[in-house]
Chain A
Amino acid sequence: MSDHDKNDHSGQDRRGFLKCMAWAGTGAVFTVSGGIASSVSLGQAMAAPAKAGSFTFMQVSDSHVGFNKPANPDAAATYREAVGKILALPQKPDFIIHTGDITQLSKDQEFDDADQIIKAAGLQVFHVPGEHDMLDEGQGKAYLDRFGQGTKGAGWYSFDHKGVHFIALINVANLKPGGMGSLGADQIEWLEKDLAGRPSSQPIVVFAHIPLWTVYADWGWGTDDAAQALGYLKRFGSVTVLNGHIHQLTQKVEGNIVFHTARSTAFPQPVGGQGPSPGPLKVPTEQLHSMLGITTATFVRGSQPIALIDSTLAA
């Protein structure tokens, strides 16, 4: 969190800087603004899309449909609750991004169940796979058969929405012994071409399952070759990187790049290194919902930041 404060009071800094906002109730609100630190309340952020060209989208992550162990005996039920939260939002989001680990074991039934649950939101869903979605015999074929249309390689793609460029990266394929997440040379080359010629003023959102910065190397919470990919993103004025995998909130700001990991809708995991392993964190039943959640991302035209609001399933 200390990163969030280091540019406070530096009014000359032309780069966008991030200010941690109040943690009010279960909704954490923070925003990056181009040169001016601004307070954004949860109410303001939710009202923002009313402005022309502005919009919200959702991030859900790590639904692990099929997981039924003591940490959460019914991951499908909590995923359903997360979709219920989306349906209850005052502003209808434009779409949903799912940052992977849709299923627990890549079984057809799990993919089917997950589809049925998210369909209830009535919104387009953009996926990337997590390592749990690569466990079929074809090592990701089941995922690609469902979600791979129009994608390249292991499933990477990009699209534009209302002036914002969205890039879906895959860092759970062909992992190397002793390593962490991996993008691979082919994907990085594709990324370079995908970004070439785009104006640096275009806001960019990158999403991938495993964090694209090293959160905790001993547990593999990072992506070995992320630095090269991020190098191509540095010239852009507003880059938002959305990840999952670690089932907890983390945030970091590096130059104009804001990194954020979302909560899981299935079960929490310990803070890196605070526990014997990154396995499911077993919490008392009454606490579980306060450790699961979704993220609302709000883009407001004319102010660089994409505001991210994390809310739990308990609220």
Chain B
Amino acid sequence: MFKTLKAGALALALLPGCALALEWSSAAVAQAAAPAGPTVKIDNFVFGPQAITVSVGTTVTWINQDDIPHTVVANDKSFKSKVLDTDEHFSFTFTKPGEYGYFCSLHPHMTGKVIVKAG
């Protein structure tokens, strides 16, 4: 009877074979406004992919595709976005190896991780 926004988008993202393809296609779309590089989509209150592995020097971009604002905040506060409304993005360049847990400070059950490898 009711239709939740983005229901269709979630169904797509849940198809295992499609997940990676979706990631890279959304990065391409974001290139117009955001730096090239891996992209984390915020969709249906989920960071996708939940964990991402990159090499030092990589710029990761988060894009909010929900109708509700979100933030991207490192657990250790080493990076922190302003509030991201629908279709807004945030980028951060990782210059040191390590594991960076992060969350949405509005909806802290939303968590993700960036693993930064040396070289």
A interface with B by C-beta (< 8 Å): 69-71, 104-106, 131-132, 134-135, 137, 175-180, 217-220, 270, 275-283
A282 with B109: CB separation less than 8 A: no
Contacts A135-B69, A177-B103 given; does A220 touch B2 at CB 8 Å: no
The interface bits of chain B over 73-112 (1 if a CB of A lies within 8 angstroms of the residue's CB, else 0) are 0010000001101100000000000000111011111010
Contacts A69-B86, A71-B5, A270-B4 given; does A277 touch B66 at CB 8 Å: yes
Partner of B108, one of A69, A132, A177, A278: A177
The interface bits of chain B over 4-44 (1 if a CB of A lies within 8 angstroms of the residue's CB, else 0) are 11110010000000000000000000000000000000001
B83 with A279: CB separation less than 8 A: no
Q: A131-B106, A179-B109 are in contact. List 19 more A-B contacts (CB 8 A).
A: A69-B67, A71-B5, A71-B67, A106-B83, A135-B69, A175-B105, A177-B102, A177-B111, A179-B108, A276-B6, A276-B10, A277-B4, A277-B10, A277-B45, A278-B45, A279-B5, A279-B44, A279-B45, A281-B4
**Minimum distance in angstroms from B74 CB to a CB of chain A:** 9
Among residues of A, the one whose C-beta sits closest to the C-beta of B44 is A277
**Minimum distance in angstroms from A285 CB to a CB of chain B:** 13
A279 with B68: CB separation less than 8 A: yes
Number of B interface residues at 8 Å Cβ cutoff, please give it. Answer: 29
**Minimum distance in angstroms from B98 CB to a CB of chain A:** 16
Cα A106 to Cα B45 in complex, Å, equals: 20
Could you say which residues of chain B place their CB within 8 Å of the CB of A70? 5, 67
Among residues of A, the one whose C-beta sits closest to the C-beta of B107 is A220
Cα A277 to Cα B67 in complex, Å, equals: 11
Cα A18 to Cα B13 in complex, Å, equals: 44
Report which residue of A69, A180, A277 has the largest number of chain B beta carbons within 10 angstroms of its beta carbon. Answer: A277
B4 with A276: CB separation less than 8 A: yes
B67 with A283: CB separation less than 8 A: no
Among residues of B, the one whose C-beta sits closest to the C-beta of A219 is B109
**Minimum distance in angstroms from B7 CB to a CB of chain A:** 6
B4 with A279: CB separation less than 8 A: yes
Could you say which residues of chain B place their CB within 8 Å of the CB of A69? 5, 67, 86
Among residues of B, the one whose C-beta sits closest to the C-beta of A104 is B69
Among residues of A, the one whose C-beta sits closest to the C-beta of B86 is A69
A177 with B10: CB separation less than 8 A: no
B interface with A by C-beta (< 8 Å): 2-7, 10, 44-46, 66-69, 71, 75, 82-83, 85-86, 101-103, 105-109, 111
Could you say which residues of chain B place their CB within 8 Å of the CB of A280? 5, 67-68
Could you say which residues of chain A place their CB within 8 Å of the CB of B10? 276-277
**Minimum distance in angstroms from A113 CB to a CB of chain B:** 17
Contacts A177-B75, A220-B108 given; does A282 touch B103 at CB 8 Å: no
Pairs of residues from A and B, 6 with the lowest C-beta to C-beta distance, nearest first: A277-B44, A220-B109, A177-B103, A275-B4, A276-B10, A175-B108
Could you say which residues of chain B place their CB within 8 Å of the CB of A220? 107-109
Residue pairs across A and B with Cβ atoms less than 8 A apart, 20 shown, are A69-B5, A70-B5, A105-B85, A132-B69, A132-B106, A135-B83, A176-B108, A177-B101, A177-B103, A178-B109, A219-B45, A220-B109, A270-B4, A275-B2, A276-B6, A277-B45, A277-B46, A278-B107, A280-B67, A283-B2
Could you say which residues of chain B place their CB within 8 Å of the CB of A135? 69, 71, 83, 106
Among residues of B, the one whose C-beta sits closest to the C-beta of A224 is B108
Cα A106 to Cα B102 in complex, Å, equals: 22
A178 with B108: CB separation less than 8 A: yes
Cα A278 to Cα B66 in complex, Å, equals: 10
Cα A175 to Cα B109 in complex, Å, equals: 10
**Minimum distance in angstroms from B15 CB to a CB of chain A:** 14
B4 with A105: CB separation less than 8 A: no
Could you say which residues of chain A place their CB within 8 Å of the CB of B107? 131, 220, 278
**Minimum distance in angstroms from A68 CB to a CB of chain B:** 10
Could you say which residues of chain B place their CB within 8 Å of the CB of A177? 75, 101-103, 108, 111
Could you say which residues of chain A place their CB within 8 Å of the CB of B111? 177-178
